Chains A and B, each alone.
Chain A
Amino acid sequence: DAGVTQSPTHLIKTRGQQVTLRCSPKSGHDTVSWYQQALGQGPQFIFQYYEEEERQRGNFPDRFSGHQFPNYSSELNVNALLLGDSALYLCASSERGAFNQPQHFGDGTRLSIL
């Protein structure tokens, strides 16, 4: 049973660049949520994709955008990178677009901005 997979594992970028992170949900899941986790903090919700649409969005600027594909996999894009975007980016999958179900997390992508 394939769990949530994310790529790449680590990434180093410089300010102003753009980045794309990828996520494949757990088998049987159709909903993907993205989180940003800064050191010493809990994950902060960025947005959720269900049925190929952004359904919910947290308090993140438009520089953060995403996409969900017909096979339920998802991408997170961040434009005009800032030093403060350095964090662990976590993808989580669940079912039927609801938050009231457990989130299954991938290992994350550790993004460093120089």
Chain B
Amino acid sequence: RKEVEQDPGPFNVPEGATVAFNCTYSNSASQSFFWYRQDCRKEPKLLMSVYSSGNEDGRFTAQLNRASQYISLLIRDSKLSDSATYLCVVTTGGRSSASKIIFGSGTRLSIRP
């Protein structure tokens, strides 16, 4: 089983729709969680950090469920410009020598007019 798993998609939704995807992680000791966005042939860019209490940034909402070991990303009122691959990132260990950072394989999202 992969340490971080994402549905590869593609998710193909109309403009204005709400879309959500999850990312599951296997290590219960995982500490930090992030969503990154990667456009085709570009570098990943931080979309948002994911906090235990959940957080919202405009049309984007991220949630963490430690009990079930997954994080989620909800995009409301989707725009054409939201078309991208969304990468889930999980870290463990803080600054210790055993710390790790693991990227999921990404979920492809395509918004159609």
User: With an 8 A cutoff between CB atoms, is A81 at the interface?
Assistant: no
Known: A98-B94, A102-B34. A45 touches B100 (CB 8 A): yes
Chain B contact residues, majority secondary structure: strand
Which residues of A come within 8 Å of B, CB atoms?
33, 35, 40-45, 55-56, 58, 90, 96-100, 102-108
In the complex, are the beta carbons of B103 and A102 less than 8 A apart?
Answer: no
Q: Given contacts A56-B100, A99-B91, could you give 20 more A-B pairs where the C-beta distance is less than 8 Å?
A: A35-B103, A41-B105, A42-B4, A42-B87, A42-B103, A42-B106, A45-B102, A45-B103, A98-B99, A99-B93, A99-B94, A99-B99, A100-B91, A102-B49, A103-B44, A103-B89, A103-B101, A104-B46, A105-B43, A105-B45
CA distance A90 to B97 in the complex (A): 22
Number of residue pairs spanning A and B whose beta carbons lie under 8 angstroms apart? 59
Interface set, chain B 73-95, CB cutoff 8 A to A: 87, 89, 91, 93-95
Task: Give the interface size bracket for B toward A.
Answer: 20 to 34
